[in-house]
């Protein structure tokens, strides 16, 4: 892999937050990424120049707004390799998964759901709670050191009641474990199940092709992908979407309303009740343009090299323990033997303006599996540099001196 | 200022708390859990005839929550249940940023500046809310 440090140092200049805070070491991109100028401009320009509601009016401004919104949908579709109508805009990954869970479990006849315990709460709790309400079997899949074992998955799939749902992440948000979702989706399909991929951490990090992934549905958020907060995607196979019933009703998703019944608009509109976040969608479109122009392979390589560099440096610090597998991508979870993760994060921020995350990372069951209550997490994106990692290591040394 | 959060008193109690451990002959026990940070603190009390004779704590948490447990133990050992309740009220007022009487709260005053760090208030209040549960149980008897 070629080092692209200088290329990305130049790219960092596109992110105004680093002009405002020149000494900021931002290592929390798994929570949300910073935004480049073209994304900020696209959102601002929508409100300045073409603000109108979409899919309602015939006047010119509304036409421009609608075209902008649908153009963002086409870009998103091309980015992940689906047809435009297979892209449903939501509020984010959480809403995508909840919408899907309701649509699948309230209206379809599934008998069981398998979800690994390392999932973010947003891909665990909706399934757990709806399964409980609908009296469907819920099977939390155990993991070992934050990793999956394909034999265990096979056993779970064999004994689960059919038809079933399997929902899983592409990259875990606690340890950066890149899951073998291509293999798992095959196993699920061989047994007649449907496979849902939580792409929140995956989509920002590697070139993604929906068909090659084997997923039936994929969910992700714009704000972890250089885009704005409040907009996300649920994409899936058209033939599966067509079997779904909407669970949210309102404007934009209607075909015909009669006194005692209603028929619904075609895909994707029947899944998008109410006025959508048009500026958000346009911002997501701009983020995708920016990423494509930068090069997803380049971003992936840069982050892989940085992750390796950071892992080696962190491992060399006495008292630090890293979690999860060695092939982590973009995310490193760790603890210090005697310094609590909140103290670590607080002091790194106060001493050196380093932003890392601490806590359970919305994955309490994964913390339990590791035998800890909380961890520190470093997460990387395209604007990070080796300097950031060196400053982190200096910062940790300073925190250790404080706690001596 | 970093010292407003990690003051000398706080760091002393965090590193060398004299109140860490568990009382074998305890009369009362209670657990404080803060699931959002994973902090868990277990308290053992010896309460005799309305008097808090001894108190120890064990568990894990950040420096603020551990120091707060230790300072709370130091502050309320030797107090009657009524006195402890009065102290508790003043401490909670302090954490809410209201006017309070510092007279009975001892070194808990070290957390007065915590209001500058709103994310960390819950670390320091965990022990005091656990004490509240114990006191409510006792006075409800």
In chain B, which among 41-70 make CB contacts under 8 A with chain A? 60-64
Question: A360 vs B36: CB contact, 8 Å cut-off?
Answer: yes
**Would you call A372 an interface residue with chain B, using a CB distance cutoff of 8 Å?**
yes
Residue A237: is it exposed, middle or buried by C-beta count within 10 angstroms (0-12/13-18/19+)? Answer: middle
Interval A301-330: pLDDT, tens: 999 999 999 999 999 999 999 999 988 999
pLDDT above 90 (res A5): no
Interval B48-101: pLDDT, tens: 999 999 999 999 899 999 999 999 999 999 999 999 999 999 999 999 999 999
Distance from CA of A400 to the nearest CA of B (A): 13
Neighbouring C-beta atoms of residue A55, cutoff 10 Å: 18
Share of chain A above pLDDT 70, in %: 100
In chain A, which among 15-74 make CB contacts under 8 A with chain B? none
Question: B2 vs A347: CB contact, 8 Å cut-off?
Answer: yes
CB-CB: which of B39, B117, B123 is closest to A373?
B39
Strand, helix or coil for residue B64: helix
CB-CB: which of B2, B35, B63 is closest to A340?
B63
pLDDT at A3: 78
Compute the half-sphere exposure of residue A34: CA atoms within 13 Å on the CB side of its CA: 25
Interval A179-199: pLDDT, tens: 999 999 999 999 999 999 999
- Kindly state the average pLDDT of the residues A355-374: 92
Strand, helix or coil for residue A273: coil
Mutate to test the interface with A, among B1, B16, B63, B117 (most CBs of A within 10 A): B63
pLDDT above 60 (res A19): yes
- Kindly state the average pLDDT of the residues A112-126: 97
Short-list A314, A332, A306, CA closest to A397: A314
- The Cα–Cα gap between A227 and A224 comes to 7
Report chain A residues whose CB lies below 8 A from the CB of B63: 340, 343, 403
CB A170 within 8 A of CB A197: yes
pLDDT above 80 (res B129): yes
Q: Which residues of A are catalytic?
A: 362
Confidence label for B36 from pLDDT (cuts 50, 70 and 90): confident
- The Cα–Cα gap between A33 and A225 comes to 6
- Chain B residue with Cα closest to A350: B2
pLDDT at B35: 78
**Would you call A368 an interface residue with chain B, using a CB distance cutoff of 8 Å?**
no
Question: How many whole angstroms from its chain centre is CA B104?
Answer: 13
pLDDT at B141: 55
Interval A195-213: pLDDT, tens: 999 999 999 999 999 999 9
Distance from CA of A196 to the nearest CA of B (A): 28
Confidence label for B4 from pLDDT (cuts 50, 70 and 90): confident
In chain A, which among 315-344 make CB contacts under 8 A with chain B? 340-343
- Chain A residue with Cα closest to B4: A350
| Tokens found for residue B130 | 């656990």
Question: A342 vs B62: CB contact, 8 Å cut-off?
Answer: yes
**Would you call B3 an interface residue with chain A, using a CB distance cutoff of 8 Å?**
no
pLDDT at A56: 79
- Kindly state the average pLDDT of the residues B103-119: 90
CB-CB: which of A340, A360, A364 is closest to B62?
A340
For residue B113, what is the DSSP state? G
Torsion of Cα atoms, A30 then A35 then A38 then A40, to 10°: 130
Short-list A163, A206, A156, CA closest to A182: A206
Interval A238-268: pLDDT, tens: 999 999 999 899 998 999 999 999 999 999 9
pLDDT at A1: 65
Question: B62 vs A364: CB contact, 8 Å cut-off?
Answer: no
Mean pLDDT score of chain B: 92
- Kindly state the average pLDDT of the residues B100-114: 92
- The Cα–Cα gap between A120 and A216 comes to 19
Sign, CA torsion A84/A90/A92/A96: negative
- Kindly state the average pLDDT of the residues A113-118: 98
Report chain A residues whose CB lies below 8 A from the CB of B60: 340, 373
**Would you call A399 an interface residue with chain B, using a CB distance cutoff of 8 Å?**
no
- Chain B residue with Cα closest to A376: B37
- The Cα–Cα gap between A355 and A388 comes to 10
| Tokens found for residue B109 | 């005053």
| Tokens found for residue A220 | 């992700």
- Chain A residue with Cα closest to B1: A350
């Amino acid at each position: 892999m070629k080092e692209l440090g200088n290329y990305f140092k130049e790219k960092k200049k596109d992110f105004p937050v680093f002009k405002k805070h020149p000494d900021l070491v931002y290592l929390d991109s798994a929570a949300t990424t910073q935004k480049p100028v073209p994304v900020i401009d696209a959102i601002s320009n929508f409100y300045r120049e073409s603000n109108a509601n979409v899919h309602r009016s015939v006047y010119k401004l509304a036409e421009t707004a609608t075209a902008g919104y649908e153009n963002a949908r086409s870009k998103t579709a091309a980015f992940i390799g689906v047809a435009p109508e297979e892209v449903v805009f939501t509020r984010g990954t959480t809403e995508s998964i909840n919408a899907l869970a309701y649509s699948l479990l309230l209206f379809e006849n599934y008998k069981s759901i398998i979800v690994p315990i390392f999932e973010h709460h947003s891909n665990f709790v909706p399934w757990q709670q709806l399964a409980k309400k609908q009296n469907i079997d819920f099977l939390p899949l155990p993991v070992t050191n934050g990793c999956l074992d394909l034999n265990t998955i096979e056993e779970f799939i064999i004994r689960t009641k059919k038809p079933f749902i399997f929902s899983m992440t592409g990259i875990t948000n606690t340890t950066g474990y890149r899951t073998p979702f291509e293999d798992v989706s095959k196993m699920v399909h061989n047994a007649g199940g449907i496979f849902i991929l939580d792409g929140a951490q995956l989509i920002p990090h590697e070139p993604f092709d929906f068909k090659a992934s084997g997923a039936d549905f994929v969910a992700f958020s714009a704000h972890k992908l250089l885009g704005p907060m409040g907009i996300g995607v649920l994409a899936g196979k058209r033939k599966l979407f067509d079997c779904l019933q909407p669970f949210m009703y309102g404007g934009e998703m209607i075909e015909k309303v009669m006194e005692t019944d209603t028929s619904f608009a075609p895909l994707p509109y029947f899944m998008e009740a109410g006025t959508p976040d048009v500026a958000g969608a346009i911002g997501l479109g701009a983020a995708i343009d920016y990423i494509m122009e930068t090069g997803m392979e380049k971003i992936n390589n840069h982050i892989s090299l940085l992750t390796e560099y950071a892992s080696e440096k962190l491992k060399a610090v006495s008292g630090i323990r890293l979690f999860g597998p060695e092939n982590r991508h973009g995310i490193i979870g760790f603890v210090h033997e005697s310094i609590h993760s909140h103290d670590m994060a607080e002091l790194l921020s106060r001493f050196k303006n380093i932003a890392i995350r601490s806590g359970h990372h919305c994955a309490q069951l994964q913390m339990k599996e590791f035998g800890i209550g909380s961890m520190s997490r470093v997460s990387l994106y395209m604007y990070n540099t080796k300097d950031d990692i060196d400053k982190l290591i200096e910062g940790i040394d300073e925190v250790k001196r404080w706690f001596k | 200022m970093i010292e407003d959060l990690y003051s000398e008193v706080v760091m002393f109690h965090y590193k060398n708390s004299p109140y860490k451990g568990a009382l074998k002959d305890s009369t009362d026990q209670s657990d404080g859990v803060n699931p959002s940070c994973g902090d868990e603190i277990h308290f053992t009390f010896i309460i005799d005839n309305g008097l808090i004779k001894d108190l120890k704590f064990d568990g894990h948490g950040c420096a603020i929550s551990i120091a707060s447990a230790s300072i709370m133990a130091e502050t309320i050992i030797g107090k009657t249940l009524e006195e402890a309740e009065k102290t508790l009220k003043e401490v909670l007022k302090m954490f809410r940023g209201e006017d309070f009487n510092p007279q009975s709260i001892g070194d808990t005053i070290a957390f007065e500046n915590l209001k500058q760090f709103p994310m960390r208030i819950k670390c320091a209040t965990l022990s005091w809310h656990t004490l509240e549960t114990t006191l409510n149980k006792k006075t409800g008897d």
